[in-house]
Structure 1
């Protein structure tokens, strides 16, 4: 993923019949979207089933290596959906911003990355996970269930202000 900031622009223009602001001064910086993700206790992950039906669930999420990461068991509906189709949507709402991030989820297997992301989950949630053999396990539960860490690489994001009158689109290169 490029570390360059995304292009931020108004979502609507003057030609659109909408009550949303068309004032360039209301464009929000990506730092606000990133902070929204960083601080959220959970986000909603939407994936696509093999038959095309949508699937949405709340998930824990951390910010590591300059990207949002989610975790799920590879055998869960979310995990199976992502293994067949990595395109997903992450949404979160705070007092200042409603955020929608469209992107691609890729499962990490490299142990150094898994350790960094596991440390981020432990720091944010106090959730201790064990890393071994390219996977993550919760050894405190019976059977040590396996989890996968998925990096969400944003392609496009939308931020709506709490006032309901401002909207920003971010396009990632």
Structure 2
């Protein structure tokens, strides 16, 4: 741990979180199979201001888990600057995703899944819980969203 005496207030934590969702290119995606086998991978993502959009093959473990499980846990940052999001997942074929979301995803990630074939599908993760903290002094007050509503 560092000796950082400053503890951010909830408004600053939310601002920092939203800046990271807009600025970072990749996010850790945790999912589980029907029999509970966990799976963790980094994926490119887009934050559209409400939802997180992911794209991967439906045939890989993450695609299967997200499409059948309906829930995911997402993480940004390292162990001393954490953002954790829990959300509900909806699966979309490419033609059902808003074009603006795909265009923004492609511009941000440098990869346009429309050219990668029909095995690729989209996952919209709608955050239900959001937590953010810098090390132990910020553990208290880390919850920024509960039941899909911002607490700040």
TM-score by length of 1: 0.69
**For residues 88 and 70 of structure 2, what CA distance do their matches in structure 1 show?**
5
- Identify which of 65, 72, 75 aligns with 2:56: 72
Aligned to 2:121: 148
Aligned to 2:143: 169
Aligned to 1:124: 108
Whether 1:88 aligns to 2:72 is yes
Per the TM alignment, residue 73 of structure 1 is displaced from its structure 2 partner at its CA by 0.6
- Identify which of 23, 34, 42 aligns with 2:18: 34
- Identify which of 54, 66, 69 aligns with 2:38: 54
**For residues 94 and 53 of structure 1, what CA distance do their matches in structure 2 show?**
24
CA contact (8 A) 1:117 1:149 kept: no
Per the TM alignment, residue 92 of structure 1 is displaced from its structure 2 partner at its CA by 0.7
Per the TM alignment, residue 48 of structure 1 is displaced from its structure 2 partner at its CA by 0.9
Per the TM alignment, residue 87 of structure 1 is displaced from its structure 2 partner at its CA by 0.8
CA RMSD between the two structures: 2.6
C-alpha offsets along residues 26-79 of structure 1, whole Å, 9 cap, x if unaligned? 324433222222212211100011111211111111112632111111111111
Q: Choose 49-58 or 89-98, whichever is displaced more.
A: 89-98
Q: Tell me the secondary structure at the aligned position of residue 127 of structure 1.
A: coil
Q: Which runs of 5+ in 1 are unaligned?
A: 1-20, 131-136, 139-143
